[in-house]
Structure 1
Amino acid sequence: MLLDVCSLLLIPYLLGHAVASAGANHAPASVKIRNGTVVGVSDDSSRVQRFLGIPYAQAPVGDLRLQQARPLNTSFGTLHANSFSPACYGPEKDSNPNPSEDCLTLNIWRPFGQYCGGELKPVLVWFYGGGLMSGYTEDPTFEGTNMVRISSEINKEIVLVSVNYRLGPLGFLNGQQMADLGLLNLGMLDQRLALHWVQENIAAFGGDPTKVTLFGESAGAVSIYSHMMAYGGRDDKLFRAGILQSGGAFPLTLANTTAFQETFDSLITDTSCVSLKDASAAEQLDCIRQLPVETFLSSVGSSTGQSIDGSFTQTSVQFAFPEGKYVKVATIVGANTDEGTTSGPTGINTEDQLHGPLADGYFRPKLLPNSTVSRLLSLYPDDPRHGCPYNTGSTPLTPGKLDKKACSIFGDIVQIAPARLIAESLARNNHKGHGHKAPVYRYRFNHLPHDVDASNITRGIGTGLEQRYIFSNLIPDFPWDQALAYEMSSAWISFAHDLDPNPGGESALPFWPEYGRDGKSMVFNGYGSEIEEDTYRRESIDYIIKSVIPYGAL
């Protein structure tokens, strides 16, 4: 099969390469796949070719709105893949720039080289974050050229893929009707179809379908562990490794909770579909599919997200991973020092003011018991010197006297404790001696960029900050930032290439050991990275893992 594909793409590839060699800035690069010929662009300065906006599914519009994504079944002829496709809609029309329902596309970057008969390269597949409500591949933070260029410079070449998937009510609408029709978690199933597309097509671009690593941040990390535990841990051989950056462990419920059901019902009661209030689920969906997208978005309720569907998602990660119900793959699990500045409330001056937000939680389906909230409050000091953002002393960065305490608790609940839970579960299952052992690595990103200013200092080393370093994009023109970005890109590339994040050679990073029973973790910092034991705030985080994260989850 591969030889046949190569024979088809050899002539256009050589022609494009010849033009590039002649000195053109953006010479074409052509790859033939089942659906047609994909014509990308070549960047001579970086020696990277990119293919942007490639559809991996039929457009989910009209009768295909709120349907599971369907594979392309027609030829697109010649696709000039020189620009990103529109972003997917979020919960509001302007959640993402330039949105469209026709958004199920992916992008590919590969290094210059001979792709016929040569050795296939490991593949990195990126899923963006955004709470399953926002995010898009055109975000300049995720542009893949620098990462692929670095892979050539360290002699560990990779192919990089980024994926658009449906979000908000168009990707994660719930309600009993959606459950009855088997139409839950559509955005996750978009990703799954994209991974199948990679298996079928990436060899034509020089990528090895047997050496795929998934990586993503926040909701992107949640997506990855969702694929690890998909279908009860069934291994469809779609990937061999995963990198979870700042992923949470949100308690999942069934699709017919009050909030989920009200969100769906609003599309009937608040639109022209009201006459179908007592009709069948199929009739209601048929009407909803005909609504203008502006009407759909302005009418739909606000509660959307991943839910238990009994098939793709059978339980929450806080149960699946400790019980070993997941695909055993090499994994990196990490978080940033000041995650809580994204999720924690501010303007908090008393514990009474903090009690309500803590009980209500973050994506939590029911209130935490008063005893649990009281215990949480007692485990964290009021002293701002020990709060989040950390290492900022007593300096008040926001108005509330207890804001640092609030951010510390919320950060631990939403991302820090889940990362430790996941890493400990994976490492523990490795040591049980059953089945395939997969290495587990842990990190904490602890670097404040040189270009941070008064407008964002309150976030400290907050959620998502590591992404620009991993992709080596938008980095301050400052030696320590530039060096850290190169080292982190090299570590991620090395993990995809060798299942080991240690770049070797002249890397300035200390040796990164497996997490293991002693919980060794890399601390990334531009002024000197180091290895620590993952034991900080042990009592409070252990309590969260035991009593908070599982509460309300199925």
Structure 2
Amino acid sequence: MRIQTASLALLGVVLTPVGGNAQSVSVTVANGTLVGVEDSATGIQRFLGIPYAQPPIGDLRLRQAKPLATSFGTWPADAFGSSCYGSRAQPNASEDCLTLNIWRLTGKQAQENGSLPVLVWLYGGGLTAGYTSNPLFEGTNMVRISTEIQKPVILVSVNYRLGPLGFLNGKQMANLGLLNIGMLDQRLALHWIHENIAAFGGDPSKVTLFGESAGAVSIYSHMMAYGGRDDGLFRGAIMESGGAFPLELPNATSFQQTFDSLLTNTSCSTTLAQDATAAQQLDCIRALPINVFRASVGSKTGQSIDGDFTRTSIQFALPAGGYLKVATIVGTNTDEGTNSAPKGINTTKQLFDPLAQGYFRPQRLPNATVSKLLELYPTDPRQGCPYNTGTTKLTSGALDKQACSIFGDLVMVAPARQFASTLAADGVPVYRYRFNQLPPGGSPARGISTGVEEAYVFSNFVRSSSPGSASPSAWDQALAYEMTSAWVSFAHDLDPNPGGNSALPHWPVYGEEANSIVFNGYGSWIEKDTYRDEGIQYIIENVLPHGAL
């Protein structure tokens, strides 16, 4: 039945036919009117490419994002905005990229359901890549499933600046208070959502953040932001494969070299006086053509200690209680280490140096620590990663499985266990999971690696033209529906159990029993999060805090 315009007046919604199965739909927010699209076949409305900040171009390059100061009038919100420039190629990339996207039920359904919970997606990519227009993150299926299980939600995804445009360091950036700009982009987007989501039928007091890898790191960064201050921006968090990397000061040598390259490799080297101030240096850098900026800047960027938004590494914020205590899901995938470990390892001597240098670690691990790790993780391939593959040699090195096992625990699994156990001890409702499904066409050599759960969380299986790409099986599709339902249920109730006809076992809180659900397409189950206990506990106590500030 066609939705009547009069019935939507209270939501400020106006529908206009645009042909086919789609019609335009408009919502008025603080800075103007957004014209999105409703798909009558799915009953889902999309508002895409919504600006949440002033374009960070010209004099606003390398500055904290500024809220929109004027009305944008009527804004066509029917297509994704540009991707933010990253350290590698991104589609339709631009500096003018601070946009967000919203998926919701039809206005009539939103009105009938009242103020809806909101899920906010932060993509991963090492803070150097990622974009909301990735088809994997299209929100229609997630919102559709939320209606089918009678737990309707609104979905939002956020673009934020990356690499040197979002995470440039150096003493000059520190002196001018311009660190962690990409994180503050996210923070401003959360404020925009808080101020405007009610116009879409959303409840600003019921926001849950979810993200993968760097997106998960971003979420725990917001949990410990400003020493754990509660700004009322979110009430729940879902962290998928978020590593707990030690943070450095902004004037670390490699950070400083990255900044200095913008002076020495460009015209700034000749136009600036030798005694130019930090502000004058930044003015010159802001005036550089973007292609010159990107070609000249160094490679080391990232989150750093700024003394305000980010005051310490998560390894110290957790035991000190310096974090926002909100209900949380924290999870990892079975074979995380295949993404981060070196390959072609045939002796423990070959593995020693890569292990000492670690993965995004500011300091080399002590030799005694490395030796202990090698002792705690067996060389037997039957106990290595990818797990459950027996003695099969999947890559060139005889000890690659040992390497992947250690690196996976260092980078992802030990931080997740530390996070879950600390929150549980502090009385925070926390749910732990392990994703254990090889994706369609997945390589046994990669195993169940970082990021493969995203297709299941969004119920989006995106086929590619690459070799090995395959259609999802009925088991994949069923698992995806259950995982999407669990994520939606958590956003709706702060409890991931969908109830009703769910095929999942009851997902208990982590608690003292260290309960964890294992997601598998052929039947999920509950396990104790105690596997590889001795090695992971050693990492938590001796490796994660080493070199962190």
User: How does the TM-score come out when normalised to structure 1?
Assistant: 0.94
Q: Which residue of 2 aligns with 1:89?
A: 85
Q: 1:162 & 1:255 partners in 2: Cα distance?
A: 29
The corresponding residue for 2:92 is 98
Contact 1:68 1:189 in 2 (8 A): yes
> For residues 354 and 71 of structure 2, what CA distance do their matches in structure 1 show?
52
Contact preservation (8 Å) 2:12, 2:199: no
Q: Is 1:221 the counterpart of 2:184 in the alignment?
A: no
Alignment partners' CA distance in 1, 2:319 and 2:146: 35
Code of the residue aligned with 2:430 in structure 1: it is V
In structure 1, the partner of 2:431 is 441
Do the aligned partners of 1:134 and 1:168 also contact (CA within 8 Å) in 2?
Answer: yes
Provide, for residues 60-104 of structure 1, a one-character-per-residue CA deviation record: whole Å limited to 9, x for no partner: 001000000000011111111111011001124x2x122100000
Q: CA deviation at 1:364?
A: 0.4
Which of 202, 207, 227 is the aligned partner of 1:212? 207
**Equivalent of residue 292 in structure 1, options 286, 289, 297:** 289
Q: Match of 2:28?
A: 32
Which of residues 381, 386, 390 is equivalent to 1:389? 386
Query: Is 1:346 aligned to 2:333, yes or no?
Result: no
State whether structure 2 residue 328 is matched by structure 1 residue 331: yes
Question: Secondary structure of 2:329's partner?
Answer: strand
**1:433 maps to which residue?**
none
Give the 5 Å matches for 1:22-101: 24-92=20-88, 94=89, 96-101=90-95
1:528 aligns with 2:523: yes
How far did 1:458 drift? Answer: 1.5
Which residue does the alignment assign to 1:473? 460
Structure 2 CA distance, aligned partners of 1:515 and 1:527? 23
- 1:197 is aligned to 2:184: no
Structure 2 counterpart of 1:175, one-letter code:
G
CA–CA separation in structure 2 for the residues paired with 1:8 and 1:402: 63
Evaluate the alpha carbon distance shift between residue 7 and residue 257 of structure 1 in structure 2; reply closer, same or farther with a 3 A threshold.
Answer: farther
Correspondent of 1:112 among 87, 91, 106:
106
Q: Which residue of 1 aligns with 2:256?
A: 261
Q: 1:458 aligns with which of 430, 445, 465?
A: 445
- Distance, in Å, in 2 between the alignment partners of 1:79 and 1:10 is 21
Q: State the Cα deviation string for residues 377-410 of structure 1 (Å, max 9, x = none).
A: 1111111111111111111111111111111110
Whether the 8 Å CA contact 1:385–1:393 is kept in 2: the answer is yes
Match for residue 372 of structure 1? Answer: 369
Aligned equivalents of 1:347, 1:484: Cα separation in 2: 34
Contact in 2 for aligned 1:185/1:307 (Cα 8 Å)? yes
String of CA shifts for 1:162-189, please: whole Å, max 9, x gaps. 0000000000000000000000000000
Q: TM-score, normalised by structure 2?
A: 0.95
The equivalent position to 1:130 in structure 2, one of 125, 133, 145, is 125
Counterpart position of 2:467: none
The letter of the residue matching 2:213 is S
Aligned-partner Cα distance in 1 for 2:484–2:232? 25
1:550 maps to which of 542, 545, 548: 545
Tell me, yes or no, if the aligned pair for 1:469 and 1:486 is still in contact at 8 Å.
yes
- For residue 233 of structure 1, what is the aligned residue in structure 2? 228
By how many angstroms is 1:11 displaced? 8.7
How far, CA to CA, are the matches of 2:378 and 2:472 in structure 1?
38
Q: Distance in 2 between matches of 1:542 and 1:38?
A: 51
What residue number does 1:361 align with? Answer: 358
Letter in 2 for 1:411: G
Number of positions where the alignment pairs a residue of Structure 1 with one of Structure 2: 533
- 1:435 corresponds in structure 2 to none
Q: Compute the displacement of 1:450 (Å).
A: 3.5
Report the alpha carbon displacement of residue 232 of structure 1 after superposing the two structures with TM: 0.3
**Distance of 1:413 and 1:318 partners within structure 2:** 13
Looking at structure 2, the residues matched to 223 and 301 of structure 1 have their Cα atoms a distance apart, in angstroms, of: 23
Q: Distance in 1 between matches of 2:107 and 2:258?
A: 50
**CA separation in 2, counterparts of 1:306 and 1:238?**
21
Alignment of 1:295-314 (within 5 A): 295-314=292-311
Taking a change above 3 Å as real, the CA distance of residues 204 and 425 of structure 1, as seen in their structure-2 partners, is same
What's the C-alpha RMSD, in Å, of the aligned pairs? 1.5
What's the counterpart of residue 239 of structure 2? 244
- Unaligned ranges ≥5, structure 1: 1-5, 431-437
Q: Tell me, yes or no, if the aligned pair for 2:8 and 2:111 is still in contact at 8 Å.
A: no
Q: Is the 8 A contact 1:9 1:30 kept in 2?
A: no
Runs of 4+ in 1 over 6 A off after TM superposition: none
SS in structure 2 of the partner of residue 298 of structure 1: helix
Assess, with a 3 A threshold, how the Cα gap between structure 1 residues 207 and 11 changes in structure 2: closer, same or farther. Answer: closer
Structure 2: give runs of 5+ residues left out of the alignment: 1-5, 463-470
1:97 & 1:227 partners in 2: Cα distance? 27
Report if the CA contact (8 A) 2:56-2:96 is conserved: yes
Instruction: Give distance in 2, aligned partners of 1:177 and 1:513.
Output: 48
Trace 1:1-16 onto structure 2 (pairs within 5 A).
10=10, 13-16=13-16
Q: Is the 8 A contact 1:8 1:32 kept in 2?
A: no
How far the C-alpha of 1:14 sits from its partner, in A, is 4.8
Kept in 1: contact 2:236–2:328 (CA 8 A): yes
After TM superposition, give the deviation of residue 10 of structure 1 in Å.
Answer: 5.0
